[in-house]
Amino acid sequence: MDLNLLPVFVTVAEVASFSAAAAKLEVKRSSVSRSIAALERSLGVRLFNRTTRQVSLTTAGAALHARLAPQLAALKQSVGTLPEQEELPSGELRITAPVDLGVIVLPGIVASFSTRYPGVRIDVRLSNHVVDVVAEGFDAALRLIVGKLADSTLVARRLTEIQIQVFASPTYLARIGAPRTPADTADHRWIYHRGLPPPKAFPVARDPAQLVGDDILFVHQAARAGAGLAILPAFVARDDVASGALVRVLPHVSMSSGQLYFVHPSAKHLPRKVTAFRDHVLQHLSAHPLAGVGSAA
């Protein structure tokens, strides 16, 4: 049996007219007639009494309608109340992001998003490693890329530019002296992040005892503590520059900029919760840009 015939049968039974059923289903009357005829052949019973003036259910038709109509109504309700079918986004939204971005920027974004869409439950995983979005079941990822974005089957939307700059604490600069040129940094200690090495304009440091970490927040805190010069995304150091805990150095030296991307598995049938979050991130970054830091030593 072709199950697509059953909704046609229920519609004809409820409106008691082939023409009215065709109008409701937005098909031709002849299509409705063929569907009912095919259903009757499949069941081996007559479902409607037809006259020139009216259409009425036979005993078999009435019995079928009594059993079928509640089932179809329940099915429509079940499909209609799926999270992605609702007018407002809802359901669980799984997001992954780098630790620094997740700690400094993401809380404000998810807080305002949750207020706007209380039906969405947000599950955030912060990691300094590139997470396999598809394999681990994430809806979306925020990724900071320095250089070219790797080829991928994922869909990537550029959100904003992230400026990369050099910072140090006032106590460190008072002790060692502020570098005025890239060549001066050869006598300084660097706090390295494995993903953000010094640019080519900087010479190799003469001191082999450098500090290396794989977490931007560690590099940030080590710079605050006076351990050396650190290359950081500007948004990480912005509040400390404002408070005087860090100072931007070598502002005239050209640095590579990073790009922040919104990444998700597929553009086909993208869930409303994902598009709503993507648009909300764009709005938030437009109102609260991750600008560079202008203060210099």
pLDDT digits (tens, 9 = 90+) for 156-180: 999 999 888 899 999 999 999 999 9
Could you read off the pLDDT of 108-124 as tens digits, one per residue?
Answer: 999 999 999 999 999 99
CA–CA separation, 248 and 169 (whole Å): 9
Burial class (CB in 10 A: 0-12, 13-18, 19+), 103: middle
Token pair recorded at residue 135: 């394999």
Any idea where the domains of the chain sit in the sequence? 5-81
Amino acid at position 67, single letter: R
Tell me the whole-structure pTM to 2 decimals. Answer: 0.65
Helix (H, G, I), strand (E, B) or coil at 253: coil
The residues that bridge with 161 in the sheet, in sequence order, are 259
Q: What is the mean pLDDT of residues 48-67?
A: 89
Closest CA to 163 of 60, 3, 291: 291
Can you give the pLDDT at residue 199?
Answer: 62
pLDDT at 226 over 90: yes
Question: Residue 215 pLDDT more than 70?
Answer: yes
Which residue in 287, 280, 256 sits closest to 145, CA to CA?
A: 256
- The top-level CATH class assigned to 5-81 is mainly alpha
Structure tokens at 78: 């079940």
* pLDDT of residue 86 exceeding 70: no
Return all residues near 176 (Cβ < 8 A) that are at least 6 apart: 187, 188, 189
The closest of 248, 235, 232 to 198, measured between CA atoms, is: 232
Q: What is the pLDDT of residues 227-270, one digit of tens each?
A: 999 988 899 999 999 999 999 998 887 677 788 999 998 766 78
- CA distances to 58, 61, 153, 185 from 13, rounded to whole Å, are 10, 8, 48, 85
